[in-house]
Chain A
Amino acid sequence: GAVVSQHPSRVICKSGTSVKIECRSLDFQATTMFWYRQFPKQSLMLMATSNEGSKATYEQGVEKDKFLINHASLTLSTLTVTSAHPEDSSFYICSAVDAEAFFGQGTRLTVV
């Protein structure tokens, strides 16, 4: 079945630095991918919709200058957390749809 690969699975970074997370659809093309964030014991919250070849659409309350999304090809979307702060520490998950929704393994970001 279709697979979405997300990398890295864990990352620890210093406050003020930037972190890039990659999301790849391995055997299908995804014109649209979705980025979610999940805090402990909370639901997955949609952050933004990544559109291949155009600007991402951000949900209300999500800072587009802080969470940069690039969807340069039909199989790759990246999320860059810029100038990360400890409150950005969370579990980030990407998703792509091919008849059903497929999710990446998730990335545990810890900002120290």
Chain B
Amino acid sequence: SQKIEQNSEALNIQEGKTATLTCNYTNYSPAYLQWYRQDPGRGPVFLLLIRENEKEKRKERLKVTFDTTLKQSLFHITASQPADSATYLCALGNLWRDDKIIFGKGTRLHILP
């Protein structure tokens, strides 16, 4: 069955450093991989999408890499800030209409001041 694993349940990073989160998947060939942010008691918010033929995507302080050979994505937050503290979810699927998204458990990121 399809399986998505995120590297750790919780991650503590000192403010100003780069936070790196890992997402691995098995038994799946996604056309896209996505990262979401979820704050407590809220729904997920879309951050970045990377396609299978792309190796890297950037958005402001965020960077995502996608290695379809390793079946892995890395999510980086540079110059991290306490406001970046949240749970980050990796998700696989398509964003074409009518398709479903499969989520990992998420990694709770704490940026320490």
Residues of A within 8 A of B (CB): 4, 6, 31-32, 34, 36, 41-46, 49, 91, 93, 95, 97-106, 108
**30 A-B residue contacts at CB 8 Å?**
A31-B97, A32-B97, A34-B101, A41-B105, A42-B105, A43-B4, A43-B89, A43-B103, A44-B44, A45-B103, A46-B100, A46-B101, A46-B102, A49-B100, A91-B41, A93-B43, A93-B44, A97-B95, A97-B98, A97-B99, A98-B97, A99-B95, A100-B95, A101-B34, A101-B95, A101-B101, A105-B42, A105-B43, A106-B42, A106-B43
> Does any Cβ of A come within 8 Å of B9's Cβ?
yes
Interface residues, chain B, with chain A CB atoms under 8 Å away? 4, 9, 34, 41-46, 49, 89, 95-106
- The DSSP consensus for interface residues of chain A is strand
Identity of the chain A residue whose Cβ is nearest the Cβ of B97 in the assembled complex: A97
Q: Decide: A43 near B105, CB < 8 A? Known: A97-B99, A100-B95, A101-B95.
A: yes
Please determine whether B43 and A6 come into contact, CB atoms closer than 8 angstroms. Answer: yes
- Docked Cα-Cα span, A103 to B112, in Å, equals 28
State A71–B26 Cα separation when bound (angstroms).
33
Interfacial chain B residues near A42, Cβ < 8 Å:
105
- 17 additional A-B residue pairs with CB within 8 Å, beyond A6-B43, A97-B95: A32-B97, A32-B98, A34-B101, A43-B4, A43-B89, A43-B106, A44-B89, A46-B101, A49-B98, A91-B41, A101-B34, A101-B95, A101-B101, A103-B43, A104-B43, A105-B43, A106-B42
Task: Determine whether the beta carbon of A100 is less than 8 Å from that of B44.
Answer: no
Q: Which residues of A contact B44 (CB under 8 A)?
A: 44, 93, 103
Enumerate chain A residues within 8 angstroms of B96, measured Cβ to Cβ: 97
- Per CB-CB distance, the 4 closest pairs between chain A and chain B, nearest first, are A103-B43, A43-B105, A44-B103, A32-B98
Nearest CB of chain B from residue A38's CB, rounded to whole Å: 9
Q: How far is the CA of A104 from the CA of B24 in the complex (A)?
A: 26
